[in-house]
């Protein structure tokens, strides 16, 4: 037993297919989330993220393993506590607000067990939390996408769930709004003290929102860590390639006395006339705020290098030889 608020231990989840078989889409998946933390499952479409949320919410049984919420077992083989008994709230992709009910009534939806006065007070508190205290009488169609999302969040938080699940919370919004709202939503969630498990395929969103991120592939979590640890210390090649910009390069191409490969981040190589690494310029482009050089290393691998200062490279044309040195950080080795 741990004191994690959410403990998922080795779950396997699948869907029935014809012939009575089961197609396993989540396998041996474990994670542990502390109270007040925001965890995020990050991965490409179809890797099983939503299925994990559905298993935690109580919509899918687990074939193996277990799920504990606040120290209480809610799922194991043969045990599937119904969603309404799990103290788990869910905010859906499309917000699922009732269009014919105003914001306040939407927020009050899960509070029928409370007295009228207690309900009114809780709705006010929640609308205040999401910055919509004066819009309780507005109908969903009178609110912007971001405001609708905040009403949906207030509704999900109102019954005080032990755990809140968010499925692709920004999928309906344009890119600029997403980035801005991700920061705003994180602040709101932190202010509410909620423990959150969310899923997204968008790395920037995961980085902005989450305390811990699980990179998923093929129904498994490959690494469960902070954004910075995923970037600086990826544990395997898939995570290295998936998170951030970078290229896996044979160590030999960098003149290193080791075998295997090295993950080069865009800051790992610096131009230096005395540097030991030899490369050939493929292209130099202004990307704002700095330049990006594409360089071909010996052996042929092309890497991107971010340059803040290109004075030493002015006048260089494609094909020109360039010497570089390896920076102390920004490198991770794989055997």
Ligand X SMILES: Nc1ncnc2c1ncn2[C@@H]1O[C@H](COP(=O)(O)OP(=O)(O)OP(=O)(O)O)[C@@H](O)[C@H]1O
The separation between the first and the last C-alpha atoms of the chain, rounded to the nearest angstrom, is: 36
Residue 17: CB minimum distance to ligand X, A: 7
Bridge-based pairing state of the strands 88-91 and 163-167: parallel
Q: Select from 44-52, 84-92, 129-137, 144-152 the region that touches ligand X (CB under 6 A).
A: 44-52
Query: What token pair was written down for 226?
Result: 């902070």
**Of 39-47, 64-72, 155-163, 248-256, which part binds ligand X (CB under 6 A)?**
39-47
Instruction: Count residues near ligand X (CB under 6 A).
Output: 11
CA distances from 213 to 135, 259, 286 (A): 34, 30, 32
Q: Applying CB under 6 A, which of residues 48, 89, 110, 234 lies at the interface with ligand X? A: 48
Return the structure tokens found at 252. Answer: 């030999």
Q: Which stretch binds ligand X (CB under 6 A): 38-46, 124-132, 139-147, 236-244?
A: 38-46
Minimum separation from the CB atom of position 94 to ligand X (A): 13
Token digits of residue 230: 């995923």
Measured distance CA(268)–CA(271) in Å, rounded: 10
Q: Is 25 in the site for ligand X (CB under 6 A)?
A: yes
> How far, in Å, CA of 56 to CA of 168, rounded?
16
Contact characters 187-226, ligand X, x per CB under 6 A: --------------x-------------------------
Alpha-carbon Rg for the chain, nearest whole angstrom, is 24
Among 51, 148, 192, 203, binds ligand X (CB under 6 A): 51
Q: Which chain residues interact with ligand X by CB under 6 A?
A: 15, 25, 43, 45-51, 201
């Amino acid at each position: 037993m741990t004191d994690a608020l959410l403990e998922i231990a080795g779950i396997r989840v699948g869907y029935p297919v014809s012939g009575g078989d089961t197609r396993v889409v989540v396998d041996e998946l474990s994670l542990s989330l502390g109270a007040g933390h925001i965890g995020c499952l990050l991965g490409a479409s179809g890797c099983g993220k939503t299925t994990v949320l559905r298993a935690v919410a109580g919509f899918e049984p687990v074939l193996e393993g277990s799920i504990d919420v606040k120290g209480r077992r809610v799922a194991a083989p043969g045990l599937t506590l119904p969603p309404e008994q799990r103290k788990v709230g869910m905010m859906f992709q499309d917000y699922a607000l009732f269009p014919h009910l105003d914001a306040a009534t939407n927020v009050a939806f899960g509070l029928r067990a409370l007295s009228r006065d207690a309900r009114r007070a809780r709705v006010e508190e929640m609308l205040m939390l999401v910055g919509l205290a004066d819009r309780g009488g507005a109908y969903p169609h009178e609110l912007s996408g971001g405001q609708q999302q905040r009403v949906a969040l207030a509704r999900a938080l109102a019954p005080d769930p032990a755990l809140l699940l968010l499925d692709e919370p920004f999928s309906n919004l344009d890119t600029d709004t997403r980035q801005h709202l991700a920061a705003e939503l994180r602040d709101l969630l932190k202010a509410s003290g909620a423990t959150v498990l969310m899923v997204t395929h968008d790395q920037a969103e995961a980085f902005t929102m989450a305390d811990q991120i699980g990179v998923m592939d093929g129904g498994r979590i490959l690494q469960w860590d902070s954004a910075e640890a995923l970037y600086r210390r990826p544990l395997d090649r898939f995570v290295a390639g998936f998170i951030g910009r970078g290229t896996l390069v044979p160590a030999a191409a960098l003149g290193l006395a080791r075998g295997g490969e090295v993950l080069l981040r865009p800051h790992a190589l610096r131009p230096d006339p005395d540097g030991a690494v030899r490369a050939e310029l493929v292209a130099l482009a202004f990307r704002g705020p700095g330049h990006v050089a594409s360089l071909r290393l010996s052996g042929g691998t092309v890497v991107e290098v971010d340059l803040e200062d290109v004075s030493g490279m002015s006048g260089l044309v494609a094909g020109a030889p360039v010497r570089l040195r390896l920076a102390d950080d920004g490198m991770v080795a794989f055997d």
